[in-house]
Amino acid sequence: MTFHDFCTRLSTIEKTSSRLEMTALLADLFNTLQRDDVEPACWLLLGRLAPLYVNLEFNFAEKMVMRVLAECVDTASTKADNKERLSSVLSLFKSCGDLGDVAEHLLHTHAEDTRSILEVFNALLALAKEGGVGSQERKLQHMAEILRKSSGLTAKYTVRILLGTLRLGFSQMTLLDALSWAKTGDKSLRKPLELAYQMKADIGKFARVFLAEGEKGLDSFDIELGIPIAPALCQRLHTADEMIEKMGKVYVEPKYDGTRVSIHIQKSGKEWHIRTFTRNLEESSGMFPELATDRALDAIDADEIILDSEAVGYDPETDKLLPFQQTIQRKRKHDIEETAARVPLRFFVFDILYKNGKNLLHIPLYERKEILEQTIKRGSVFVLAPYIITDSPKELREFHAKQLSTGLEGAVIKQYASEYQPGRRGWSWVKFKEEEGAVGKLSDTLDCIVMGYYKGQGKRTGFGVGAFLVGVRDEKSDTIRTVAKIGTGLSDDQWKELKTRAEKLAVKSQPKEYLVHENLIPDVWMKPSLVVEVAADEITNSPTHSAEKALRFPRLERFRDDKTPDQATTVKELRAI
C-alpha cells in the first residue's frame, strides 16, 4: 500500500464519528495491508514509531517544523525569501492552529506521493534515531527531505506524527476490536485477543501474527523477556465481609504508596541484563541504577526471571518509607545517580511471572509465592512483600488497620489460588484503602483524565486556570466521559503546575473521544494525556455529566505521571465505588 492511500484512509477515519464505522474502516485497512506493512501501519495509526517500551521519540518543537515547512514551500511559485515564508507559515498556523493543516495547504501543489508505507516509516525511523554532534541540523535536513517528497495530504499526517498530534480518536483497544472485525466481521474475538496481547504488549507484532495466522497464532504469542506484560490491577470492594464472601481464602499484603515496577532479568543476555517497565509499559531501566549491579543480580537465584514489584523510597537514617511525592522524584532522565543517593529505593516484590523459560501466569498464586520465596535472597535491594493468609474478615480488618496506622495506603487482597491476570479483569485482586464506615469521603480515589480547563478569575487570574474538567473512560465506546469540574482544594503551587502542564497539552478543538455537555465546555481543550488522582465525598447522579454520575466536593490529590489515560478509572468502576 502506498503512503498516500494510507493517508486517504486516515482522512476518512478522522471524519468518522461512529465507533462501529471506525472499527469497520480499520478492519478493512488491516485486510488490505501487505504483511510487511502491518507493524508500521499499527504504529503510524497511533502516531508512533514503536511501542512505549522502546524509547524512541521525535521531540520536535512546532518552531522547528515551521522552519522546515518554510524551506519546503515551492520557491518557483514565490519570490519571497525564507524569512517571509516563515512569517507566512506562522500566520497560517495562528489562523488554523494545526501545523498538519498548514503543511497540507502549503504543499498541495506537490505531485502525488508514490512512496510505500514501509518506505516512509523507515525514513521517519531513521529521523527519530538521528543523534550525536550536529544531529539537530541533520534532523532538520532529514525532515525537509521527507516533506519535499510528500503531497499535501501525506505532509498533513507526517507533520502530525512528527509533532505527536495525530489524534484519530481511538486507542490500542480499538485496534484489537478492528483485528477481530477483520477476521469475523464483529468484535467476538475481543476478549481472547486482549488476553493474548496483555501478555506481550506490542500491538504491532501482535497484529502481524494474528492477521497471518488467525486464532492459532494467539497460542504462540507468549511472554517474551524484554517486552512488558500488562500489570495486574485491583478491583474494588467496600468491606472485609464482601471480600471474604466473594474471594474466600486470600493473601493480604500491604498496599505501598510507591511506583509499580516490572523487572525483567536475563543474566546471560548479550544486549542487556536488567530491564524495568512502568505501570504504563514504558521502559524505565535507566532510572534504577541500584538494579544494574552485581549485588542485585546475585540476589536472584535464576538466570531468567520477570518480577512484579512496588518501588518505594526510604529514609536511610530512619529507615522509614517515604511518601509517593518523594518516591516519584526518581522518575527522571537527568541527575539519576544524585537522586538515587538522595532517595534510595526498596523494591517490594510480590509476584513472579516467569522463570527460566517457564510462563508462570497460569499457575495458582500460592505456588508462585513458593517459587518467589525460593528465588529471592534476603538482605538485598529486593524485599519480599509481607503477607498473611486468611479467610476471616476480622483478621483482614486487623491487618488493614495495622497498615493504615503505619502510614501505608491500606491492603491488597488476592485470591489464594488465583492466576496472574494481566490488565483490569476479574476479582482476583482487590484493594482495601479507607477505613470501613469512614464518612466524608469515598472508599477510594479515582484516576481521572484532565480534558480541559477554565480560565481563572480574581486571584486565579494570575494562575491562568480557575477550574478544570476531568473524565473517566468508557471501555465499551472507547470514549472519555465527564465526571467533575474541579475548582477547589488546590494549593497555589498545584494551580501553577496545572497551568504549566496544561499549556503543553492544549489543543484547538475538542478531541473526538470526548463526550461533553454544552454547559461544561472548557475555555481550553487538552489532549487526553494527563491523569490526576481525585478524591471526593460521594458520587451522585448527574443529568449534565456524560458519565451520568458526578463527584461531590471533588479535590485533587496528586498528578499521576505513572499512569496513562488507558489506565484511568472506567465508567463501570465509577458505578461500583
List, by residue number, the catalytic residues.
255
Residue type, 290: E
Q: Is 85 helix (H, G, I), strand (E, B) or coil?
A: helix
CB 257 within 8 A of CB 314: no
Q: Which helix (H) or strand (E) segment is 370 a member of?
A: helix 365-375
Q: CA-CA distance, 377 to 384, in Å (whole number)?
A: 9
CB 262 within 8 A of CB 232: no
Cell, residue 521: 465546555
Nearest Cα neighbor of 104 from 91, 122, 89 is 89
CB 217 within 8 A of CB 365: no
Q: CA-CA distance, 166 to 47, in Å (whole number)?
A: 5
Nearest Cα neighbor of 486 from 412, 398, 555 is 555
Q: CA-CA distance, 178 to 22, in Å (whole number)?
A: 9
CB 190 within 8 A of CB 176: yes
Cell, residue 186: 464483529
Cell, residue 148: 519535499
Backbone angles phi, psi at 92, to 5 degrees: -65, -40
Q: Which residue has the cell 536472584?
A: 300
Residue type, 551: L
Q: CA-CA distance, 165 to 157, in Å (whole number)?
A: 9
Q: CA-CA distance, 560 to 450, in Å (whole number)?
A: 11
Instruction: Write the DSSP string, 228-258.
Output: PPPPB--EE-S-HHHHHHHH-SEEEEEE--S
End-to-end, the C-alpha distance of the chain in Å comes to 47
Residue 390, C-beta contacts closer than 8 angstroms, at least 6 positions apart: 249, 250, 252, 396, 399
